[in-house]
Structure 1
Amino acid sequence: MAGGAGIIERFYREVMEGGNLDLINELGSESYTEHEEPMPGQPPGLDGIRFYVNTFRSAFPDIKAKAIEPVISAGDMETTRVVLTGTHDGEFLGIAPTGKTVEFNTMDMIRVENGKAVEHWGVTDLLKLMQQIGAVRT
């Protein structure tokens, strides 16, 4: 698989949406480093990715990547914006299920070596998500 665009899209389509956690080892390097602020209890490395995915899939079992665009590549770096949607049907960071539908953005930038993500920088708009489930006032 060439380039990070395939990695990012496969991550969102097959791991986040499809729940294929085994694919994390194929997409990410053992030396993977996460630069995004961790969620409470999130471990480092590939285990941290599994934790992130499990947290979102448990809380939003119907999570979908509504949009993955634009993908911009430069050398060994790839970046994209992703719009995620889902229904809050499970506990999320201590917030009981509300049944509310959410839509929020993430921005992802990865560095790729030998066809695997070795570093990730990202921003997940948790404020917007928390506002939509009523955990934070607008």
Structure 2
Amino acid sequence: MIENNKAVVRRFNKEVIEQGNIDSFNALMDSKFVNRSAPAGMDNGPKGMIWFFNEILRPAMPDIKVTIHEQVAEGDMVTTRKVISGTQTGTLLGVPATGKKVSIEVIDMVRVKDGKYLEHWGITTLPELLATLAQA
């Protein structure tokens, strides 16, 4: 079960975040999914999650890549340390395109149930990146 859960998370990172694959997203998301790290006012369900990746991140960084550095799993929880990187050729949360290579470091925890994302918690360096880009 642990290795299968880690594979689900790797698949999500590759097919959903990198490739923007809606079919994979739908296959990997439980209808009761809750993003426990969603910002206040943002939809914390499946719609909010795919909106962030496909309407915010991917348009700002069309060459997006996810590099997984480590995964640790226990029971139904998978923790992943990764970097989301790409070239900021579009507006990113109000910051105009810079043409710079950017990286967002991420540590997230996902509860996987029956091969699907049920809950997510995460911390990222996105706020720090936005502050740096805004000063450029």
With normalisation by structure 1, the TM-score equals 0.87
Share of identical aligned residues, percent?
40
- For residues 1-138 of structure 1, what are the structure 2 equivalents within 5 Å? 3-38=4-39, 42-54=42-54, 55-65=56-66, 67-133=67-133, 135-136=134-135
Give, in angstroms, the shift of residue 132 of structure 1.
Answer: 4.2
Q: Quick one: distance in 1 between partners of 2:77 and 2:135?
A: 34
The 4+ residue runs of structure 1 with deviation greater than 4 A are: none
Structure 2 regions of 5+ residues with no counterpart? none
Deviations 1:43-75 (A, max 9, x none): 22110111111110010101101x212111101
Give, in angstroms, the shift of residue 114 of structure 1.
Answer: 1.1
Give, in angstroms, the shift of residue 99 of structure 1.
Answer: 0.6
Q: Is the 8 A contact 1:59 1:88 kept in 2?
A: yes
Amino acid aligned to 1:53: F
Give, in angstroms, the shift of residue 127 of structure 1.
Answer: 2.6
Give, in angstroms, the shift of residue 107 of structure 1.
Answer: 0.8
Q: Secondary structure at the match of 1:82?
A: strand
Q: Quick one: distance in 1 between partners of 2:64 and 2:41?
A: 21
Structure 1 regions of 5+ residues with no counterpart? none
Alignment length, in residue pairs?
A: 134
With normalisation by structure 2, the TM-score equals 0.88
Q: Quick one: distance in 2 between partners of 1:116 and 1:136?
A: 39
RMSD over aligned Cα atoms? 2.0
Of Structure 1 and Structure 2, which has the larger fraction of its residues in helix?
2
